[in-house]
């Protein structure tokens, strides 16, 4: 029996092998049938057929006045169809799945589906320009091309896509069945809530269901682009990380002693000067080295002036010999006195 309850929350060691949905013949048949149903609703509203009459009957019935007790609850429940809150909630869940499974496919699939939803539903909204029940001007009219933007219902289509994407990305068939049933119930409830509140016609909700289902059924056609985008993002990340990576020097171990600094002479001529010193100075240097335990002391000689020469190279300024001048009249010691000439003789 498994005791670690949070083990499934840990990150998987490698990306799991999840089979990507393909456009099977069954899916293609569902897509074609849903598309035909979508076009039939648009044509029925354009022709002001019985569907428009049903819209007016439901609106004049005013469900929000018939059952006012559930009005407050449905005001909060309809938020499950708003694009901002639902996209944030689903993106948080799919972001955790992307981190856990080492893949960006869940987030990229959500982004692609919301982009398709904005383009397709938004284009039809602006193109047909239908007004809502609260802004209707003529009873029995389809209220088309009047500057509105409610046909099809964006709340309903968004609920189908955002909650249905969880079923589309499910890893097991059992989870896919449960999530499909949940998304169908939530989107059906959101659509009927907009009819209850009087913000949408019934035909708006039906067309919103069909629009959201078309996007979910057509997502396998977008899978190659999603895979290509994921590979490009990972390649760009590797390139940026390799570009910013710098080779840091390896730190020395904590117990390694630092080497003693080398004692270098101040100038290049110092080595020649030391070689020209008298032999008597060498003994003193040896004695200093022995007294310091075999480690020479660093004696820095004063810098030599560039215009002066070493003492050994200087020429003597006095002549060799005695410095006293010769005295001709002084008698040298131990010798005979010189003969002096006799005056007058």
pLDDT of residue 290: 41
CA distance from start to end of the chain: 155
Q: Is residue 316 part of a domain?
A: no
Q: What is the residue whose two structure tokens read 């020429």? A: 315
pLDDT of residue 244: 74
pLDDT of residue 288: 41
Q: Please give the backbone phi and psi of residue 310, each rounded to the nearest 5 degrees, phi first.
A: -70, 160
pLDDT of residue 251: 61
| Helices and strands (H and E) in the chain: how many | 12, 0
Q: Is residue 122 part of a domain?
A: yes
Q: Is residue 248 part of a domain?
A: no
How many domains, in total, are found in the chain? Answer: 1
Q: Is residue 162 part of a domain?
A: yes
| 259-279 residues labelled b (16+ CB within 10 A) or e (exposed) | eeeeeeeeeeeeeebeeeeee
Which parts of the chain have pLDDT scores under 70? 1-16, 246-345
pLDDT of residue 230: 87
pLDDT of residue 5: 52
pLDDT of residue 294: 46
pLDDT of residue 279: 46
Q: Is residue 61 part of a domain?
A: yes
Q: From the CA atom positions of the chain, what is the Rg in Å?
A: 51
pLDDT of residue 139: 87
* Residues 6+ away with beta carbon under 8 Å from 148: 129, 130, 131, 132, 135
Task: State the Cα–Cα distance between residues 91 and 94, nearest whole angstrom.
Answer: 5
CB 206 within 8 A of CB 38: no
Residue 134 lies in domain: 24-232
pLDDT of residue 52: 94
Q: Is residue 301 part of a domain?
A: no
Q: What is the residue whose two structure tokens read 């020479």? A: 296
DSSP-based three-state secondary structure for 106: helix
Q: Which of 82, 78, 77, 221 is nearest to 162 (CA)?
A: 82
Task: State the Cα–Cα distance between residues 165 and 153, nearest whole angstrom.
Answer: 18
pLDDT of residue 171: 81
pLDDT of residue 321: 54
Judge if the upstream peptide bond of residue 152 is cis by omega within 30 degrees of 0. yes
Q: Is residue 198 part of a domain?
A: yes
pLDDT of residue 275: 47
Structure tokens at 214: 């078309």
pLDDT digits (tens, 9 = 90+) for 61-93: 999 888 989 999 999 999 998 888 999 999 999
- Does pTM surpass 0.75? no
Q: What is the residue whose two structure tokens read 């080398």? A: 262
Q: Is residue 98 part of a domain?
A: yes
């Amino acid at each position: 029996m498994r005791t670690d309850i949070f083990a499934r929350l840990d990150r998987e060691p490698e990306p799991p092998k999840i089979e990507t949905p393909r456009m099977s013949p069954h899916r293609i048949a569902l897509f074609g049938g849903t598309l035909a149903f979508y076009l039939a609703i648009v044509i029925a509203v354009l022709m002001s057929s019985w569907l428009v009459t049903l819209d007016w009957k439901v609106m004049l019935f005013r469900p929000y006045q018939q059952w006012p007790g559930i009005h407050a609850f449905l005001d909060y429940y309809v938020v499950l169809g708003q694009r901002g809150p639902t996209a944030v909630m689903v993106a948080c869940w799919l972001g955790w799945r992307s981190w856990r499974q080492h893949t960006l496919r869940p987030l990229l699939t959500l982004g692609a589906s919301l982009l398709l939803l904005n383009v397709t539903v938004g284009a039809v909204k602006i193109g047909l320009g239908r007004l809502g029940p609260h802004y209707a001007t003529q009873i029995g009219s389809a209220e088309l091309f009047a500057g509105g933007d409610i046909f099809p219902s964006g709340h309903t289509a968004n609920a189908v896509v955002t909650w249905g994407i969880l079923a589309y990305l499910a890893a097991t068939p059992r989870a896919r069945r449960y999530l499909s049933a949940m998304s169908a119930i939530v989107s059906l409830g959101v659509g009927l809530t907009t009819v209850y509140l009087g913000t949408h016609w019934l035909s708006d909700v039906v067309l919103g269901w069909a629009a959201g289902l078309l996007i979910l059924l057509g997502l396998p056609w977008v899978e190659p682009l999603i895979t290509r985008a994921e590979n490009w993002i990972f390649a760009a990340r590797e390139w940026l990380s390799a570009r910013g990576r710098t080779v840091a020097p390896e730190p020395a171990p904590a117990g390694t002693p630092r080497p003693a600094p080398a004692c270098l002479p101040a100038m290049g001529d110092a080595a020649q000067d030391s070689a020209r010193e008298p032999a008597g100075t060498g003994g003193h240097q040896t004695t200093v080295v022995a007294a310091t335990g075999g480690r020479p002391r660093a004696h820095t000689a004063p810098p030599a002036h560039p215009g002066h020469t070493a003492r050994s190279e200087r020429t003597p300024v006095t002549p060799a010999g005695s410095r006293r001048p010769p005295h001709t009249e002084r008698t040298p010691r131990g010798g005979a006195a010189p003969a002096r000439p006799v005056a007058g003789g």
